[in-house]
Amino acid sequence: MSVITAAGIAGLGFVLTAIVVNVGYVRARLPFPAAAEGLDAVTDAFATVGARLRRPSVLAPVGWLCLTVFAAGVLSVLWRGGSGVSAWALVGFAGVLMQNVAFMCVEALRFGLAAAAHDRASTAGLWGFSNVLFGFNQVFLAMAVLGFTIAGAGVGFIPTWHIGLGYVSAALLFISAAASPYNAEGTSRLAPIGLIGWLGWAGWIIAYSIALIRL
């Protein structure tokens, strides 16, 4: 199997893994950053989660691996060397790597919240940190989408509708990231913008993955 085909499969695997992990957290009744949960509800949820926290987190590294392989495959197809328009793919690849690191921290913070759930002050601090970091992470998603979209458009690899989806998703993710300081308590009214941007990013990955597999 070529690296490009593996990258396409990995992109689809990332989206599937992300869905499974999020469903796992919903079933565990864990609050999501930016979910407008009160601090008491957040504290109670993490204090009683127990082993249910571990199960979905086991799959998180699979998602990061899949996303990195996907990004490497896209980079190998788009970047032609030099500093032309295809070099924007380097921005996309950097965005993926940075989002993996940032989201690894968000994931680890869940365990910190569970450990500190009986201390309200500690929970408040960790929850605020998690909310803002989760929001700022979206700028890295925006970088990934923007870089790979500009490069893909420049070399004629993706169609017009895919280009438009990339630009709109990147803009929504960036707006949501910029509003993150106002979401330390998880009560931002702009949270749906980030969710729509993330859904657009997931659809964008699926379309790119299919294009890679067809090469």
Q: What is the pLDDT of residue 14?
A: 93
The average pLDDT across 113-133 equals: 77
For the chain, how many helices (H) and strands (E)?
Answer: 8, 0
Identity of the amino acid at 141: L
Q: What is the pLDDT of residue 34?
A: 62
Residue 83 CA to residue 149 CA, distance in Å, equals 16
Average pLDDT taken over every residue of the chain = 85
Q: Report the predicted TM-score, pTM, of the whole model to 2 decimal places.
A: 0.88
Which residue reads 């280009």 in tokens?
163
Percent of the chain residues topping a pLDDT of 70: 90
195: pLDDT strictly greater than 80? yes
Confidence category of residue 166, pLDDT binned at 50, 70, 90: very high
The average pLDDT across 76-102 equals: 90
Give tens-digit pLDDT for 62-88. Answer: 999 999 999 999 999 998 777 788 899
3, 72 contact by CB (below 8 A): yes
Which residues touch 144 (CB under 8 Å, ≥6 apart)?
A: 71, 92, 93, 95, 96, 99, 201
Give tens-digit pLDDT for 28-67. Answer: 777 777 665 666 777 777 777 766 777 777 888 999 999 9
Residue 51 CA to residue 32 CA, distance in Å, equals 17
Radius of gyration of the chain (CA): 18
